[in-house]
Structure 1
């Protein structure tokens, strides 16, 4: 369960990078305001922050679920009809 969650988080981060770069390029090139200028350069810190936030949320969810899963009696869960 943890492996799938981590793999899906990594895939989501990578897809978010691709979509984010495309959206950033579109917005910066096609919608610049007349009285302001934007720096079109992407810094490495932008990528690190955007990967760190979902990674921390995934780790937090994994810790919470680990505690809940440890408290489940697996034999009783297998006997359950649900």
Structure 2
């Protein structure tokens, strides 16, 4: 079994680039939901098996479930890592050489 590890030190340049470009959490979430609606519509209407039929309508519960179910573990990780990320000087991280 391969162990997955998210290491902030390895991704600090990517995080710095996103922050320096001016992206905020709410903008990223909104773009993700809009892209998700289009992807959902594409998958449900064009890829169902011949012997099944899916309801292509989007309900508010779809958004709630898709946001809440996978949010538990990342929320815990975010609470732990927030302090470390906030203490990083983003401009110095972008100047560093890989």
Q: TM bucket by the smaller chain?
A: 0.5 to 0.7
Between the aligned partners of 2:32 and 2:71, the Cα distance in structure 1 is 11
| Higher gyration radius (CA) | 1
* Structure 2 unaligned blocks of 5 or more: 1-18, 88-98
Structure with greater helix percent:
1
* TM-score, with length taken from structure 1: 0.54
How far off is 1:35 after superposition? 0.6
**Bigger relative CO (Cα 8 Å, ≥ 6 apart):** 2
Q: Which runs of 4+ in 1 moved over 6 A?
A: none
* TM-score, with length taken from structure 2: 0.47
Match of 1:38 among 27, 49, 54: 54
Q: Deviations over 1:32-82 (max 9, x none)?
A: 22111111112211111223344862x42342136669xx9xxxxxxxxxx
Number of residues of Structure 1 aligned to a counterpart in Structure 2: 64
Please give the secondary structure, in 1, of the residue aligned with 2:64: helix
1:1-80 matched pairs, under 5 angstroms: 8-52=24-68, 53-54=70-71, 57=74, 59-65=75-81
Q: Cα RMSD over matched residues?
A: 3.0
Cα gap change, 1:16 to 1:54, in 2 (>3 Å) = farther
